[in-house]
Structure 1
Amino acid sequence: MHLKKVIKKDIENVLIKINPIKKYNPIIILNKKITMGHYQLNNLIKIATILDLEPYELSKIIIKNIKKKNIYKEITFSQPGFINIFINHDWLSIELENIFISSRLGINRIQPKNIVVDYSSPNIAKEMHIGHLRSTIIGDVIVRILYFLGHNVIRANHIGDWGTQFGMLIAYLEDIKSKIVFQDDSISLEKLEKFYCKAKKKYDSDQLFAEKSREYVVKLQNGDKYCHKIWKKLVSITMIENQKIYQRLNVTLKPDDTVGESFYNEMLPNIITDLKNKKIAIEKNGSTIVFLKEFKNRLGESMGVVIQKKDKGFLYSTTDIACLKYRYQKLHADRIIYYTDSRQHQHLIQAWIIAKKANYIPQNLLLEHHVFGMMLSKNKRPFKTRDGNTIKLSILLNEAIQRAVNLIKNKKPYLRKKKLIQLSEIIGISAVKYADLSKNRNTNYIFDWDKMLSFEGNTAPYIQYAYTRILSIIKKSSIPIIKLKEKVILKKESEINLAIKILEFEEIVLLIAKKGTPHIMCKYLYQLATYFSIFYESCSILFAKKIKICKSRLKLSLITAKTLKKGLNMLGIQIVTKM
């Protein structure tokens, strides 16, 4: 139940009756002072000005027209211009019952759309590092939520499997006469990355090697069998290792979701020809360029986007234009969301503009670049190893698990080894994921092991513990869940506040689906766990004097647990039944 939406709609209906021509946007917020009301109309003065009425006079009209609805218990006006709303306890109870009996917590599926989510996108011939964490886990949360709402979600792991790095690697392997790529199926990605580093160093220092590398790129793009065989092996080695990381992170990406730049290779010559025919692209000094008036260079002239080089090699922009065309014309995308860092923003905008000019995609296609900040160390610099190298994601996750082992051993020294390992993997990796997801994706954040593994504050262990505590309460009860048939009785303030917080869940889900900001869910789950803690401290559950009160509070506890579990699942955070 989206309570704010319901209240807003009721008020809008009243305003339309007063003057149907004017536009209104009633702003409904949670009241900071519960004693004043659960919700508040926050822009009454502005709306009154539009209607040329005094705020108090307008409040009387609104209150008179909506106060008889079952949802409202009491509605009051307060100076200088607010309407305060108390929600009816009986109405809350009915809504809680709907959530209790629903596997979807009472949230209906919406009109489905085809939504492509482009995320993770690791490099080939390199191990995934911490720079890939945010794109991978934030993108996956959005995928989970959109899928839950009923959309047809197309996961797109758009890997860079086509380009200069492959020319470099093929040239290097040829240079050292290495057949290891073909002979040894057990070659590690770590070894492959060392090859890449040596190839890159040679590429930057040896002009002949660089020329040879570029020649191999063109050969690969033109379908050379020798180059294609090596390329295919390099991609396979990389993605097998990356899939292991996805499984550890509890990310839903599968091998079938991987579509590399190579997939669009056959489209590229036709794209070039078509853009030329439409007078969008021109040839200049042997290169094919699109000049965009929307962007200016240092001289104030239209910026040129190169889509084909002199050597007839294609660029990332060309591939991204083809990718857009395919996603709209073949996948019938209604919305495309990209999770890459802010450095890609101008590049993406340019590709979007060219694709629209060429009529490959319509002007109104929803294209969104959900940028994210960096992970920083405590000195507020990029989080790296002591020798200044980028931290491998596998190493980060291993350390998280080991720290969780030490934490659990201190709390439960006699826990069986098998259980210790299982619990440590869930808690350690969940802590890393939640610490990242709980920060606004638009900002940088400081990576702090102590905070993320704490059982206090807005952390995964705290939320996981809150869930297990509720399960423990229910397990201790002698009343079977099947016997909890009566509606929840809401009398005490802590019960009412918890009920209202539970009903906010749908609003949170819809907001994340719109904005792609998982930290809102983390904040909500932390608040929900905190509200339950207050309820637990102030209301006896198992030892309530009346059996009907005991059943009611058990039911409210169970609904809370269901909501916590569903929220954590949307975040890709695993639950535990015992801690």
Structure 2
Amino acid sequence: MQVWFNPSLVIDQHVRSIAAELEDFGPEFDPVVRPADPKFGDFQVNGVLGHAKRQKANPRELGQKLIDALLASGVFDPEMVELSLAGPGFINFKLSSAFLWQWLQAYSTPDDYQSGARELKHGRKVVIDYPSANTAKQAHIGHLRPMVIGEAIARLLDFCGADTIRDNHIGDWGTNFGTLIMKIKRDNIDLDTLEGESALATLDQLYKDGSALEKEQPELRDVSRDELVKLQNGDPDNTALWQQIVDISMAAFDKLFEQMGVHVDMALGESFYRDKVERIYEELTDAGLAEESEGALVVWHDEVKKFARDNERPYPFNIRKKDGASNYATTDLATILYRVEEFKADEVIYLTDARQQDHFQQLFLTTEKWFKAKGYPLPEMSHVWWGTILGEDKKPFKTKSGESIKLQALLDEARERAYSVVTEKNADLSEDERRDIADAVGIGALKYADLCSNRTQDYVFDWNRMLSFEGNTAPYLLYAVARINSIFRKGGASPEDSFAEASPLETEPEHALARKLMGFVNALELTLNDLRPHFLCTYLYELASAYSSFNNADRVLVDEPEIKARRLLLCARTRTVLKTGLELLGIRTLEKM
């Protein structure tokens, strides 16, 4: 029997195929394969009980008929997989020690795992919209989540076979440019003199000062609106200022991206679509979806009650303002059309915080109706949203003065705190080594703390917890990898060795670790199903814990060469999966700590 990379998928496929040919089941039988209670096996097939109720049959009798047919098919070698019946028709599959051993030998490298995982998203063209910050504003702690979650999801999609396009859809065409240009001209600011890290901070402050000035002198709002109109009409001076502002912002973004390990393929901001919005107005109007309402052009979704207030007509999806200007809705509609026509996107994933849920629900609903009316291919659309980062007071995490914490300051503090921990534990290391470890541990801890919690929940920001070497943290996982590296150095071996003399698995800790290693593909599948990286984090933590139990129970560097090779093989496989998983999360691993 072939050793399957993803046993649960193969079991599902064969159970469906064989059941479809049985008179008592047929193609309508819909089994569910899930991990089993370890006392009974590795996987359990459910669905017989519900099917038996519909057929008014005995579920145990039906379950046994299905088992007999599965065994008769020859697909499941009894020496590799044991099938048994439990309860009212539950079918358990227990993988033998021989299967586990052959699996460990067959899948040893990241390429092996990737070749098996590619089937999850094979050939699917996916556009992922992140981190999409606004220009002329410094990144703050709120930008941590789109960068971290977006990069992890993008890496997972790549690894699992998707043809991924990372589009940094920046906000570079909003009304804030009118205010900013007004202030720059009023103060006669020469943007060419702005250099280095302070350039974006200066622009950020100019906008804040301009907004405050408009409140003090309301007549300046008309000046700002005029500057925006001039920009939108292609005025050379305002366009030149706008380009300088965008360039300064992008340079700052790129610096942050480099530190965070974020990779984007393109940055098609809102300005890119400014000449594409007329088509949106025309097509939605022609399709009978958009209509004038109090001077604005809107789309109504009367069937969706959640958009309604006090049982009145729902909030409209406003795609053109009263003054004729476009807005986020217009740009987003133009963007999704471009992604389908130019990129041939099968799937589009948007990443924003929870506050934009209603916007994206209306965007998706409008797109579905519009594309159906025009006969355009409709991509799968997902909104990946998240909760808030909280301080110890359970309120949004801010500085003592009440301002949002700047992302660069957060990264710097993460490094310094990690450096203190590393120095305390390894004072004998050189300064350069401690700084390098501190960079990986500090930034990794910051990312992992964000990823390991369910993204739709708020979480409390806690330096002590995230930098701890105990529990579900990045330092714990990074140290697990470093521990394994140390074993290979002491044993004079390499994780890339063949371990040809290794004997088959024997002890219970060895079997438990092997089973946990084989769960990697299930963790990837679970993570991708709902685009929640915390599932992968949980798996990696459980794997590191299983390895720790194995290492404590079974000494690796023993005298017997066949046992030593077997346990080194388990160490090597654990190292590969931990490193691969952490890299998918955007976390750099270390040779030693």
TM-score by length of 2: 0.91
List, as ranges, runs of 4+ consecutive aligned residues in structure 1 with deviation greater than 6 Å.
none
Aligned AA (1:181): L
Q: Residue in 2 aligned with 1:189? A: 200
Q: Residue in 2 aligned with 1:208? A: 219
Alpha-carbon contact 1:93-1:487 (below 8 Å) kept:
no
Aligned AA (2:276): M
Q: Residue in 1 aligned with 2:19? A: 15
Mapped partners of 1:352, 1:37: distance in 2: 42
Q: Residue in 1 aligned with 2:54? A: 50
Mapped partners of 1:304, 1:215: distance in 2: 28
Q: Residue in 1 aligned with 2:500? A: 485
Return closer, same or farther for 1:537/1:51 CA change in 2, 3 Å cut-off: farther
1:401 matches 2:415: yes
Aligned AA (1:88): S
What is the CA distance between 1:167 and its match in structure 2?
Answer: 0.6
Q: Residue in 2 aligned with 1:384? A: 398
Q: Residue in 2 aligned with 1:90? A: 98
1:417 matches 2:431: yes
- Secondary structure, in 3 states, of the residue corresponding to 1:358? helix
Alignment of 1:135-214 (within 5 A): 135-176=146-187, 178-186=188-196, 188-214=199-225
Q: 2:279 aligns with which of 257, 270, 273?
A: 270
Q: Residue in 1 aligned with 2:362? A: 350
Aligned AA (2:192): F
What is the CA distance between 1:210 and its match in structure 2?
Answer: 1.4
> What are the superposed Cα offsets for residues 198-255 of structure 1, whole Å, 9 maximum, x if unpaired?
11222344321112212222222221211111111111111111111111111123xx
Return closer, same or farther for 1:272/1:182 CA change in 2, 3 Å cut-off: farther
What is the CA distance between 1:311 and its match in structure 2?
Answer: 3.0
What is the CA distance between 1:102 and its match in structure 2?
Answer: 6.1
Aligned AA (1:27): V
Alpha-carbon contact 1:133-1:393 (below 8 Å) kept:
yes
Q: 2:541 aligns with which of 497, 506, 526?
A: 526
Q: Residue in 2 aligned with 1:288? A: 297
Mapped partners of 1:412, 1:364: distance in 2: 56
Alpha-carbon contact 1:70-1:88 (below 8 Å) kept:
no
Aligned AA (2:68): K
> What are the superposed Cα offsets for residues 320-342 of structure 1, whole Å, 9 maximum, x if unpaired?
11111111111111100011112
Aligned AA (1:30): P
1:558 matches 2:572: yes
Q: Residue in 2 aligned with 1:243? A: 254
Alpha-carbon contact 2:24-2:62 (below 8 Å) kept:
no
- Secondary structure, in 3 states, of the residue corresponding to 2:164? strand
Aligned AA (2:10): V
- Secondary structure, in 3 states, of the residue corresponding to 1:257? coil
Mapped partners of 2:44, 2:504: distance in 1: 24
Alpha-carbon contact 1:324-1:361 (below 8 Å) kept:
no
Q: 1:113 aligns with which of 124, 149, 157?
A: 124
- Secondary structure, in 3 states, of the residue corresponding to 1:76? strand
Mapped partners of 1:85, 1:381: distance in 2: 48
Length, aligned pairs only: 574
Alpha-carbon contact 1:124-1:161 (below 8 Å) kept:
yes
Alignment of 1:71-90 (within 5 A): 72-79=80-87, 81-90=89-98
Name structure 1 gaps, 5 residues minimum. Answer: none
What is the CA distance between 1:24 and its match in structure 2?
Answer: 3.0
Mapped partners of 1:27, 1:304: distance in 2: 41
Mapped partners of 1:550, 1:538: distance in 2: 14
- Secondary structure, in 3 states, of the residue corresponding to 2:83? strand
Mapped partners of 1:302, 1:531: distance in 2: 52
Q: Residue in 1 aligned with 2:457? A: 443
Mapped partners of 1:75, 1:346: distance in 2: 48
Q: Residue in 2 aligned with 1:548? A: 562
Alpha-carbon contact 2:29-2:47 (below 8 Å) kept:
no
Q: Residue in 2 aligned with 1:257? A: 266
1:6 matches 2:21: no
> What are the superposed Cα offsets for residues 172-208 of structure 1, whole Å, 9 maximum, x if unpaired?
11222x2321344445211111111111222344321
Aligned AA (2:100): L
Mapped partners of 2:236, 2:7: distance in 1: 61
Return closer, same or farther for 1:271/1:39 CA change in 2, 3 Å cut-off: closer
Mapped partners of 1:85, 1:11: distance in 2: 12
Aligned AA (2:175): T
Return closer, same or farther for 1:299/1:13 CA change in 2, 3 Å cut-off: closer
Aligned AA (1:393): L
1:133 matches 2:144: yes
1:31 matches 2:3: no
Return closer, same or farther for 1:172/1:200 CA change in 2, 3 Å cut-off: same
Mapped partners of 1:222, 1:160: distance in 2: 18
Aligned AA (1:143): A
1:504 matches 2:504: no
- Secondary structure, in 3 states, of the residue corresponding to 1:28? strand
> What are the superposed Cα offsets for residues 144-177 of structure 1, whole Å, 9 maximum, x if unpaired?
111112221110111110111001101111222x
Aligned AA (1:214): R
> What are the superposed Cα offsets for residues 69-98 of structure 1, whole Å, 9 maximum, x if unpaired?
237443333345543332111122222112
Alpha-carbon contact 1:94-1:487 (below 8 Å) kept:
no
- Secondary structure, in 3 states, of the residue corresponding to 2:318? strand
Q: 1:70 aligns with which of 67, 77, 93?
A: 77
Aligned AA (1:61): K
Q: Residue in 2 aligned with 1:468? A: 482
- Secondary structure, in 3 states, of the residue corresponding to 1:381? coil
What is the CA distance between 1:14 and its match in structure 2?
Answer: 4.2
1:323 matches 2:340: no
- Percent identity over the alignment is 34
- Comparing 258-267 with 347-356, which one deviates more in the overlay? 347-356
What is the CA distance between 1:407 and its match in structure 2?
Answer: 0.7
Mapped partners of 2:194, 2:379: distance in 1: 46
What is the CA distance between 1:66 and its match in structure 2?
Answer: 3.5
- Secondary structure, in 3 states, of the residue corresponding to 1:35? coil
> What are the superposed Cα offsets for residues 45-85 of structure 1, whole Å, 9 maximum, x if unpaired?
33432343323323322333345623744333334554333
Alpha-carbon contact 1:121-1:157 (below 8 Å) kept:
yes
What is the CA distance between 1:260 and its match in structure 2?
Answer: 0.7
- Secondary structure, in 3 states, of the residue corresponding to 2:39? helix
What is the CA distance between 1:12 and its match in structure 2?
Answer: 3.0
Return closer, same or farther for 1:488/1:163 CA change in 2, 3 Å cut-off: farther
Alpha-carbon contact 1:221-1:313 (below 8 Å) kept:
no
Aligned AA (2:191): V
What is the CA distance between 1:474 and its match in structure 2?
Answer: 1.6
Return closer, same or farther for 1:477/1:261 CA change in 2, 3 Å cut-off: same
Alpha-carbon contact 1:488-1:553 (below 8 Å) kept:
no
> What are the superposed Cα offsets for residues 261-305 of structure 1, whole Å, 9 maximum, x if unpaired?
000001123332443444433344443333332443556225333
- Secondary structure, in 3 states, of the residue corresponding to 2:316? strand
Aligned AA (2:589): I
- Secondary structure, in 3 states, of the residue corresponding to 1:517? coil
TM-score by length of 1: 0.93
Alpha-carbon contact 2:501-2:561 (below 8 Å) kept:
no
- Secondary structure, in 3 states, of the residue corresponding to 1:41? strand
- Secondary structure, in 3 states, of the residue corresponding to 1:154? strand
Aligned AA (1:303): Y
Mapped partners of 1:58, 1:488: distance in 2: 40
